Structure 1
Amino acid sequence: MGSGIAIWQVIILTIYSMYQIMDELTLQTSLSQPIWAGIIAGLVMGDLKTGLIIGGSLQLTVLGVGTFGGASKIDANSGTVMATAFAIGTGMKPEVAVAALGVPVASLMIQTDIVARFANTFFQHRIDKLIDEENYSGIERNYLYGYLPWTLSRGIPVFLALAFGGPFVRTAVDYMNTNLAWLSNGLATAGALLPAVGFAILLRYLPVKKHWPYLILGFVITAMLSTIYGNVTLLGTTIAGMNAKFTTVFANLPMLGIALIGFALAAMQYNRSVKESNLVAAQPKQNAGATDLDEQDGEIHGDEL
Structure 2
Amino acid sequence: MHEITLMQGLALASLAFIVGIDFWLEALFIFRPIIVCTLTGAILGDIRIGLITGGLTELAFAGLTPAGGVQPPNPIMAGIMTTVIAYTAGLDAKTAIGLGLPFSLLMQYIILFYYSAFSVFMQKADKYAETTNTSAFALLNLLTIFIVALTYALVTFLCTYVAQSTMQQLVLSMPKWLTHGFEVAGGILPAVGFGLLLRVMLKKQYSPYLIGGFLFVCFIQVNNLLPVAVLGAALAVYEYFNSKSKAEMLLKIESQSKSSEDFSNGI
The alignment's TM-score, normalised by the length of structure 2, stands at: 0.84
In structure 2, how many angstroms separate the alpha carbons of the residues matched to 1:58 and 1:261? Answer: 23
Q: What does residue range 1-305 of structure 1 map to in structure 2 within 5 Å? A: 4-26=3-25, 28-101=27-100, 103-176=101-174, 180-226=175-221, 229=222, 252-253=223-224, 255-281=225-251, 282=253
Correspondence for 2:265: none
Change beyond 3 A, Cα 1:84–1:263 = closer
In structure 2, how many angstroms separate the alpha carbons of the residues matched to 1:11 and 1:42? Answer: 14
> Could you give the per-residue CA deviations for residues 38-91 of structure 1, whole angstroms, max 9, x where no partner exists?
122112222222222222211110112212444422212112212322332233
Q: CA deviation at 1:114?
A: 0.9
Q: Is the 8 Å Cα contact of residues 24 and 145 (structure 2) preserved in structure 1?
A: no
The alignment's TM-score, normalised by the length of structure 1, stands at: 0.74
In structure 2, how many angstroms separate the alpha carbons of the residues matched to 1:150 and 1:140? Answer: 16
Change beyond 3 A, Cα 1:224–1:86 = closer
User: Cα RMSD (Å) of the superposition?
Assistant: 2.5
**Please, which moves more after superposition, 50-59 or 264-273?**
264-273
Q: Is the 8 Å Cα contact of residues 56 and 93 (structure 2) preserved in structure 1?
A: no
> Could you give the per-residue CA deviations for residues 269-297 of structure 1, whole angstroms, max 9, x where no partner exists?
3344344445555357xxxxxxxxxxxxx
Unaligned runs of at least 5 residues, structure 2: 258-267
Query: How many pairs does the alignment contain?
Result: 255
* Identical columns (%): 27
Unaligned runs of at least 5 residues, structure 1: 230-251, 285-305
Bigger RCO (CA 8 Å, 6+ sep): 2
